């Protein structure tokens, strides 16, 4: 009972003197852990040798079967964020972070049992379903809290957290490899033990995040911050109820903006290694390609912070205009780089493309806040993440299909990606047009003042930052 009371939103209202700069690390505690999802592929090969140990034996799991674990996790990320968004928003960040921690780590423990018993369905249920739900709740849990603490820089604040999701793989990948090397023996692959160890590490981190997170008291504003007297036309001071947002064209335009930006990025992200080797045969080896992918992931992470922070100054709509216009040019330049044999131009194009891919994820919560207000922004963000789930399926399929079609029709592998790049550039043009149509939400969708009252309204107003 004491735990349940500790999780209540009322218990998370900040006391006087609480620094808002403690909120980004609280959010990072969660996002750095759930960002492990991007590094799950390090387990794929070891999990195909659980019986054969040195090589796949009879009865060992196949890569194609293992691929479903990540796909399920991303599907349940989108589904849980969409379904549980309102529950997350109304219950407060601590309850959501705590629940996300239990689901995420429970997913690892259940997967460890699945690996130990060699029952793949248990791993699907563990990492795919339970872990995926933890991903969804964890991803949206700090968003609205950050936006409320940083009304002057909402892009930067959410960008910091979402950068953590990109950065989680940088920690998880070497850590998982190291743990597996410690737990493996000549007769045993240490995957199950590594899952247990990761689950324990992540539960500690996520509970620290849940413990230090706070919501600002009603009426709180940062020192020196004065809300603009004449607010920008594209930044509302009203609130839209989560399910009313679905009735607005703005929600669906932003849904397509995110979907198209992610489709273009995720499609080539998965193929970056093979593409660089095929386009620059003899210049980029397999080992160098893996280094390149690491470098691109770094740009994906850094771009999340830089672009979302930039959006606080140039505006969200303009930031997406930059993504779509610059992205179109860069995608169209990639075949040219291949024809020239210029690895430097190729790397430069991709580095910027991946920074904008990450930037698209990180800037979208602030875009939603500008359109729909702060009251239900986390829940609306949860609904929007279905665009990510869709892009996660559509992007790689599109890239693989176009490449396959070209190769089977006699196009040399070095040129097989050219059409793909032009298709991606075309998708970004569509995204540009969607962004062009984004206008302020009509006032008939705004909540009445009484409806918008926060449930912590009764809490005392403190003098803090």
Partner 1 sequence: METIRQSGGVGNGIKLALAWGFVGIPLVWGVVQTLVNAVKAFQ
Question: What stretches of 48-92 show up as alpha helix (H) in DSSP?
Answer: 63-91
Name the minimum Å distance from CB 17 to partner 1.
4
- How far apart are alpha carbons 362 and 267 in whole angstroms? 18
- How far apart are alpha carbons 166 and 106 in whole angstroms? 22
Q: Does the footprint of partner 1 cover residue 16 (CB under 8 A)?
A: yes
Q: What is the token pair recorded at 357?
A: 């891919």
Backbone angles phi and psi of 282, in degrees to 5 = 90, -20
Q: Does the footprint of partner 1 cover residue 232 (CB under 8 A)?
A: no
Interacting span for partner 1 (CB under 8 A) from 17-25, 241-249, 376-384, 412-420:
17-25
215: which DSSP letter?
A: B
Q: Which is nearer to partner 1, 114 or 168 (CB)?
A: 168
Choosing from 99, 173, 176, 374, the residue that interacts with partner 1 (CB under 8 A) is 173
| Three-state SS sequence of 144-198 | HHHHHHCCCCHHHHHHHHHHHHHHHHHHHHHHHHHHHHHHCECCECCHHHHHHHH
Furthest C-alpha separation in the chain: 72
Q: Does the footprint of partner 1 cover residue 410 (CB under 8 A)?
A: no
Residues of span 38-97 touching partner 1 by CB under 8 A: none
Backbone angles phi and psi of 225, in degrees to 5 = -85, 125
Q: What is the token pair recorded at 65?
A: 């079967």
Interacting span for partner 1 (CB under 8 A) from 22-30, 246-254, 377-385, 443-451:
22-30
Q: Which of 431, 430, 429 is nearest to 367 (CA)?
A: 431
210 and 98 in contact (C-beta within 8 Å)?
Answer: yes
Number of residues interacting with partner 1: please give it, by CB under 8 A.
48
Choosing from 171, 345, 414, 447, the residue that interacts with partner 1 (CB under 8 A) is 171
Q: Which residues pair with 339 in a beta bridge?
A: none
- How far apart are alpha carbons 211 and 311 in whole angstroms? 30
376 and 240 in contact (C-beta within 8 Å)?
Answer: yes
Name the minimum Å distance from CB 79 to partner 1.
28
373 and 237 in contact (C-beta within 8 Å)?
Answer: yes
Q: Does the footprint of partner 1 cover residue 99 (CB under 8 A)?
A: no
Q: Does the footprint of partner 1 cover residue 225 (CB under 8 A)?
A: yes
Q: Does the footprint of partner 1 cover residue 298 (CB under 8 A)?
A: yes
Helix (H, G, I), strand (E, B) or coil at 240: strand
SS3 content of the chain, % helix, strand, coil (to 5): 75, 0, 25
Interacting span for partner 1 (CB under 8 A) from 21-29, 104-112, 130-138, 387-395:
21-29
Q: Which is nearer to partner 1, 174 or 249 (CB)?
A: 174
264 and 424 in contact (C-beta within 8 Å)?
Answer: yes
Name the minimum Å distance from CB 14 to partner 1.
10
Q: Does the footprint of partner 1 cover residue 211 (CB under 8 A)?
A: no
Q: Which is nearer to partner 1, 169 or 379 (CB)?
A: 169
Q: Which is nearer to partner 1, 340 or 461 (CB)?
A: 461
CB atoms within 10 A of CB 20: 20
Residues of span 424-463 touching partner 1 by CB under 8 A: 461-463
Q: E-assigned strands of 287-444?
A: none
Q: Which is nearer to partner 1, 298 or 325 (CB)?
A: 298
Q: Which is nearer to partner 1, 253 or 377 (CB)?
A: 377
Q: Does the footprint of partner 1 cover residue 231 (CB under 8 A)?
A: no
Backbone angles phi and psi of 240, in degrees to 5 = -120, 130
Interacting span for partner 1 (CB under 8 A) from 24-32, 257-265, 330-338, 437-445:
24-32
Name the minimum Å distance from CB 298 to partner 1.
6
Q: Which is nearer to partner 1, 362 or 425 (CB)?
A: 362
Choosing from 45, 200, 227, 340, the residue that interacts with partner 1 (CB under 8 A) is 227
Q: Does the footprint of partner 1 cover residue 7 (CB under 8 A)?
A: no
Q: Which residues pair with 13 in a beta bridge?
A: 215
Interacting span for partner 1 (CB under 8 A) from 90-98, 164-172, 331-339, 432-440:
164-172
Q: Does the footprint of partner 1 cover residue 116 (CB under 8 A)?
A: no
Summarize as ranges the residues that interact with partner 1 (CB under 8 A): 16-19, 21-22, 25-26, 28-29, 32, 164, 167, 169-175, 205, 208, 212, 219-227, 287-292, 294-295, 297-298, 301, 461-465
């Amino acid at each position: 009972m004491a735990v349940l009371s500790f999780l209540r939103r009322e218990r998370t209202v900040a006391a006087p003197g609480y620094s808002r700069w403690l909120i980004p690390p609280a959010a990072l505690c969660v996002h750095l852990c759930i960002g492990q999802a991007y590094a799950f592929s390090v387990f794929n090969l070891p999990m195909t040798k659980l019986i054969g140990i040195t090589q796949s034996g009879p009865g060992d799991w196949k890569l194609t079967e293992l691929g479903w674990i990540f796909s399920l996790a991303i599907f349940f990320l989108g589904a849980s964020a969409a379904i549980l968004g309102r529950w997350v928003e109304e219950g407060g960040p601590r309850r959501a972070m705590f629940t996300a921690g239990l689901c995420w780590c429970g997913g690892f423990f259940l997967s460890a049992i699945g690996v130990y018993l060699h029952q793949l369905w248990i791993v699907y249920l563990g990492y795919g379903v339970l872990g995926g739900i933890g991903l969804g709740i964890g991803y949206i849990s700090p968003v609205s809290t950050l936006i409320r603490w940083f009304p002057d820089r909402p892009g930067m604040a959410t960008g910091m957290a979402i950068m953590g999701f990109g950065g989680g793989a940088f920690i998880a990948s070497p850590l998982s490899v190291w743990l597996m090397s410690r737990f493996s023996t000549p007769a045993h692959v240490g995957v199950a033990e590594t899952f247990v160890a990761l689950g324990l590490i992540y539960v500690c981190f996520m509970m620290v995040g849940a413990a230090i997170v706070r919501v600002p008291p009603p009426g709180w504003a940062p020192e020196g911050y004065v809300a603009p007297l004449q607010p920008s036309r594209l930044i509302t001071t009203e609130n839209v109820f989560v399910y009313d947002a679905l009735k607005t064209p703005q929600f669906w335009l932003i849904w397509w903006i995110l979907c198209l930006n992610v489709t273009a990025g995720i499609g080539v992200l998965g193929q970056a290694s093979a593409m660089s080797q095929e386009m620059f045969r003899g210049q980029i080896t397999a080992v160098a390609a893996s280094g390149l992918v690491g470098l691109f992931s770094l740009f994906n992470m850094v771009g999340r912070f830089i672009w979302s922070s930039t959006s606080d100054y140039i505006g969200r709509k303009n930031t997406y205009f930059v993504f779509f216009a610059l992205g179109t040019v860069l995608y169209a330049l990639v075949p040219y780089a291949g024809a020239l044999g210029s690895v430097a131009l190729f790397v430069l194009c991709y580095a910027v493309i991946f920074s904008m891919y990450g930037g698209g994820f990180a800037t979208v919560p602030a875009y939603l806040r500008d359109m729909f207000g702060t009251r239900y922004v986390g829940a609306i963000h949860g609904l929007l993440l279905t665009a990510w789930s869709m892009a996660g399926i559509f992007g790689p399929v599109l890239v693989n299909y176009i490449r396959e079609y070209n190769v089977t029709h006699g196009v040399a592998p070095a040129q097989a990606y050219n059409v793909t790049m032009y298709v991606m550039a075309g998708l970004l043009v569509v995204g540009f047009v969607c962004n062009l149509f984004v206008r302020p939400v009509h006032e008939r969708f705004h909540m009445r003042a009484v409806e918008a009252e926060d449930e912590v309204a009764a809490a005392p107003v403190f003098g803090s930052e």
